[in-house]
Structure 1
Amino acid sequence: MSFKFEKLIIWQDSMSYGEDIFQMTLSFPKEELYNLTSQIRRAADSVALNISEGSILQSNPEFKRFLGYSIRSIAEVVTCLYKAKNRQYINEDRFRESYNFAYKIMNHIIAFRNKLT
């Protein structure tokens, strides 16, 4: 047995992304724990959380709404990545890697959402 969302690649990728962001933030300064660190972690986790929540007992229009929340959370993560790069918590390579994966997930969610009737 499994939940419907567990089979979705967008959910699987967003779960991996959340863990990647968590690992990245372990090196952030302690003074950021309740600011940028918390914000980016919550935003990254929100992507998968909204996909799973929207997929359970929801109509397709409602599921689309939750997918929209996931897309907005990705935008929030990307903004936090810029903040982390500007504050020199991550280097350009790490920024680019995380940015590109966020872009990939966003496009996959949009494509999936567009296929829902």
Structure 2
Amino acid sequence: MAAAPSPVEQDGMVSSYKDLLVWQRAVELALAIYRCTAEFPVEERFGLTSQIRRAGVSIPSNIAEGYGRGTRKDYKQFLSIARGSTLEVQTQLLIATELGFGSSELREEVGALAEQVSKMLYSLISKL
């Protein structure tokens, strides 16, 4: 028996979560976070570095998981969790900035991507 189509697929918009621009940007954000945090102090490996990386990876992961759940309600819930993680990344990035961790260029890249992904998630949630 075939799995039920996702809420987005039912609308005929995309055939995979990988087609979602917001998921693609979220993956870019996660990669940018890893590049940025590679410059954080070694003693932060189990602190801020680990925390911001986990939050960054959870964004595209929750978009994908929600897409695969098959109901609009579940999809919206996972998108909301992903959006919460973008806000978590923004907060942690602010803390890293105040502490002088990482290069300002990479922090700016992460900040811009986080803001973009957050807005895209808000828009998608509103449309569902």
TM-score in terms of structure 1 length: 0.91
- Choose 35-44 or 95-104, whichever is displaced more: 95-104
- Quote the offset at 1:91 in angstroms: 4.6
Match of 1:107 among 119, 122, 127: 119
- Quote the offset at 1:92 in angstroms: 4.3
Match of 2:63 among 51, 63, 75: 51
Q: Equivalent residue of 1:56, what SS?
A: helix
Match of 1:12 among 19, 24, 28: 24
- Quote the offset at 1:97 in angstroms: 3.0
In 2: Cα distance, 1:24 partner to 1:92 partner: 9
In 1: Cα distance, 2:45 partner to 2:69 partner: 35
Amino acid at match of 2:20: L
Unaligned runs of 5+ in 2: 1-14
**Residues 14-93 of structure 1 mapped to structure 2, 5 A cutoff:** 14-93=26-105
In our comparison, the structure showing a higher alpha carbon Rg is: 2
Unaligned runs of 5+ in 1: none
User: How has the CA–CA distance of structure 1 residues 20 and 94 changed in structure 2, closer, same or farther, with 3 Å as cutoff?
Assistant: closer
Q: Equivalent residue of 2:75, what SS?
A: helix
Amino acid at match of 2:51: Q
- Quote the offset at 1:93 in angstroms: 4.3
In 2: Cα distance, 1:94 partner to 1:15 partner: 15
In 2: Cα distance, 1:25 partner to 1:96 partner: 13
Counting helix residues as a fraction of each chain, which structure ranks higher? 1
Percent same amino acid at aligned positions? Answer: 31
TM-score in terms of structure 2 length: 0.83
In 2: Cα distance, 1:20 partner to 1:92 partner: 13
Amino acid at match of 1:48: P
Q: Equivalent residue of 1:61, what SS?
A: helix
- Contact 2:59-2:82 within 8 A present in 1 as well: yes
In 2: Cα distance, 1:39 partner to 1:110 partner: 23
Q: Equivalent residue of 2:47, what SS?
A: helix
